[in-house]
Amino acid sequence: MEQNRGSWGSNLGFLLAAIGSAVGLGNIWGFPYKMGKSGGFTFLLIYLLLAVFVGFIIMMGELSLGRKTGKGTVGAYHTMSKKFKWIGWLAVFSPFVIMSFYSVLGGYCIEYMSLNLSNLAFAGAEIKTGSDLFGAMLTNPFGCVMFTLLFLLICYLINRGGVSGGIEKFNKVGMPALFVMLVIIIIRSLTLPGAMEGLKFMFVPGYAVKAGFIAEAPKFATVLATAGGQMFFSLSLAMGAMITYGSYLSKQEDLVKNSAIIVVADTIVATMAGIAVIPAAVANGIQNGIPLNEIALGGPSLLFVTLQDVFQAMGTVGPLFGVIFYLLVLIAAISSAISLIEVVVTYFMDRAAEKGKEGNRPKVVLLVCLAIMVEAALVAVDGLGSNGIWVPGQASFGIQGWNDCWLDFMDMMSEGIAMPLGALLMSLMVGWEIKPKSLLDEIHQGSNARIDGFFSFCMKFIVPLGMLLILVGQIDTFFSLGIF
């Protein structure tokens, strides 16, 4: 059975796929905005410290857990632990929930790419503003469902091809293409008049408050929780993705080096994405006399309102940059989505193998994608709350985070709670139950880096403490409890 499980064609292929998983919507609309709002360099510094002492450690932990057991998330935890067997389930549940909104957002990207394509083809036709377009899209549930379906169809075709024949192949072309497109957008963005204000917002400590982008600086604990939550989501941690990808990696590859490359690459792309979008958004806002605190610099509105306006203000070449940009975001979304789907698919494939049967990958991928389509339809029809089908909101007990829309609800369950909780439990399991040495043995198969002391210390003390703070911080923000 083992040899049928599949594996990466090369270490470079694995790296591109793992970086593809990490680089996603989180990098483009989360990182730059949160960085600006939370004090520029202060945030970057905290982010980097967390990335080294927590992200890098968990990355190594997850990759080695997957490779050691040769199994997906559920199987890996089952094999390794007695007390924490069930964490694997958390890490299959979360990707499934994340896909409910990730695929809807992916659908929006396809829709915007097509819109810009038609603007390019029919130059001179009447062009709507970003917010009109976004509003029209959200209140057309049928269209949103169809584009979500199209997004999932693309993912289905890739995942069906298997780990090396589908996922690796896509990323080998997609990642370099994404990088080139990002550079093109950066050059265009930085040459817009007023772009410097945007750069200052991102990098100069305290500038966001001084220039009037936000009213007051967030508290330190909030910055810590924001940076931590962002780091987890962005690095695809505590979602089973890296355990799953690690389980397909050959024993001689260097897990220490690979983990470092993934963390560094993801951070670089997040910063680059910031330089591509924030200066353009700010420059356009200034030109149109929009008060700085009213320019949407994060979340869905950044991508689908602010930036669409930026492209339209560029005149005839605008739609071309629009097509390039939304294609770039689409590739980032696909490469992350296929890793989330693979977590669930691998679980079913492993289960079949355990029963001595050979899993039917195309059938499993199809069923997983169909199940995702059902939950995603809810988020798509809801249209970020525009269409009034928010049910849990009616029983939200006055809790703010639950009031908005289905997307926020799904996000809170997965990113807000399941991810930090999963990482906390994982570090407790590795640090205190199975002991760091059990994973260090695996790590040393392909690496002789002297990281034993650092790995053990972080896994035992720093990660659990950091995760606890992040978890409380996330619950605090989502439920507006006012603990911090």
Binding residues (CB under 6 A) for ligand PHE: these are 21-22, 24-27, 233-234, 236, 239, 241, 336, 339-340
| Closer residue to ligand PHE in complex, CB, 286/379 | 379
In this structure, the chain runs to a length of 484
Q: Answer for the pair 49, 264: CB distance below 8 angstroms, yes or no.
A: no
* Residue number of the CB atom closest to ligand PHE: 24
Write down the residue that tokens 């670089």 correspond to: 268
Task: Please answer whether residues 244 and 71 qualify as being in contact, where contact means their C-beta atoms are separated by less than 8 angstroms.
Answer: no
Of 24 and 285, CB closest to ligand PHE: 24
- Residue closer to ligand PHE, measured from CB, 69 or 236: 236
Please, what is the minimum distance in Å from the beta carbon of residue 81 to ligand PHE?
A: 21
Q: What is d(CA 88, CA 96) in angstroms, rounded to the nearest whole number? A: 13
Nearer to ligand PHE, 96 or 213 (CB): 96
**106 close to 99: Cβ distance less than 8 angstroms:** no
Q: Scanning the structure block, which residue is given the tokens 């499980």?
A: 5
Compute and round to an integer the Cα radius of gyration of the chain: 22
Q: Which of residues 245 and 406 has its CB atom nearest to ligand PHE in the complex?
A: 245
Q: How far is the CB of 37 from ligand PHE (least distance, A)?
A: 18
Which residue, 18 or 133, has its beta carbon nearer to ligand PHE?
A: 18
* Residue 24 near residue 332, CB atoms below 8 Å: yes
Smallest distance from ligand PHE to CB 236, Å: 3
Q: Which of 63, 61, 107, 101 is nearest to 416 (CA)?
A: 101
CB of 335 to ligand PHE, least distance (A): 9
Distance of closest approach, residue 86 Cβ to ligand PHE, in angstroms: 19
Q: Please give the backbone phi and psi of residue 418, each rounded to the nearest 5 degrees, phi first.
A: -60, -40
Q: How far apart are CA 473 and CA 484, in angstroms?
A: 7
Output 21 or 164, the one with its CB closest to ligand PHE. Answer: 21
Name the residue among 304, 310, 300 with its Cα closest to residue 280. 310
Closest separation between CB of residue 384 and ligand PHE, Å?
18
What is the C-alpha to C-alpha distance for residues 116 and 267, in angstroms, rounded to an integer? 29
Of the pair 339, 456, the CB lying nearest ligand PHE is at 339
- Provide the minimum distance between the beta carbon of 3 and ligand PHE in the complex, in angstroms, as a whole number: 27
The residue (of 330 and 440) whose beta carbon lies closer to ligand PHE is: 330
| Nearest distance from C-beta of residue 272 to ligand PHE, angstroms | 14
Our CB check for ligand PHE shows the closer of 102 and 479 to be 102
* Distance, CA of 371 to CA of 347 (rounded, Å): 15
Least distance CB 206 / ligand PHE (angstroms): 27
CA-based nearest residue to 48, from 258, 240, 235, 209: 235
Report the distance separating Cα 260 and Cα 23, nearest Å: 15
CB 121 within 8 A of CB 297: no
Least distance from C-beta 483 to ligand PHE, angstroms? 26
Alpha helices per DSSP H over 161-240 = 169-190, 195-203, 207-210, 220-234
- As a whole number of angstroms, the distance between CA 234 and CA 48 comes to 13
